[in-house]
Amino acid sequence: MNDLVQHVGDRLARHGLRLAIAESCTGGMLATRLTDRPGASRYLIAGLVTYADESKTRFLGVRPGTLAAHGAVSEAVALEMAQGARLACAADMAVAITGIAGPGGATDEKPVGTVWIAVTVHENQLSRACRFDGDRAAVREHAVRAALEMMDSTLSQLEAPLRRS
């Protein structure tokens, strides 16, 4: 994973993109992975761990109605978390991770290992539902890797028009 972390960080810095992170089930692991590498201050503005629903509302602007209608582990909440982090931190790009790492908290509709990841770049948004196997630690590690891969893919899409010019 270290090569992917370095690659994503280098791309963010190269393009002068400022990143904000909103994490729930990963508890700051994505921010930790990025700041483990020297030079993260070139692109990382803030990492917010909004584990409780009220912190998602207070710090990220996730609407209580969205939480009530969809639950904290949902596409709608992941998107609002990412958008809220981007706006609150005046960032160019934001990533949000919300999920059920276990062993508790699961339902029939949302079993342990259910994770939603959202990425926003400027006004563009994308999201992805994931289901990971393993214990709590494994689910969290898989979620961080998936978020980094999603960020890398998003950065590739941003670079595509530059390559065509």
pLDDT in tens, 12-36: 999 999 999 999 999 999 999 999 9
When the pLDDT of each residue in the chain is averaged and rounded to a whole number, the result is 95
Please name every residue paired with 125 in a beta bridge, in sequence order, or none if there are none. 120
pTM as predicted? 0.95
pLDDT over threshold 90, residue 123? no
Q: What is the C-alpha to C-alpha distance for residues 158 and 100, in angstroms, rounded to an integer?
A: 30
pLDDT over threshold 50, residue 8? yes
pLDDT over threshold 80, residue 161? no
Assign residue 35 a region: left if phi > 0, alpha if psi is -120 to 50, beta otherwise? alpha
Task: Supply the pLDDT for residue 165.
Answer: 44
pLDDT tens column, 38-82: 999 999 999 999 999 999 999 999 999 999 999 999 999 999 999
Mean pLDDT for the stretch of residues 137-150: 98
Show me where the domains of the chain are located.
Answer: 2-157
Task: Supply the pLDDT for residue 159.
Answer: 74
Fold (topology level) of 2-157: Maf protein (3.90.950)
Q: Which stretches within the chain are classed as H helix?
A: 2-14, 29-35, 53-60, 64-70, 75-88, 136-164
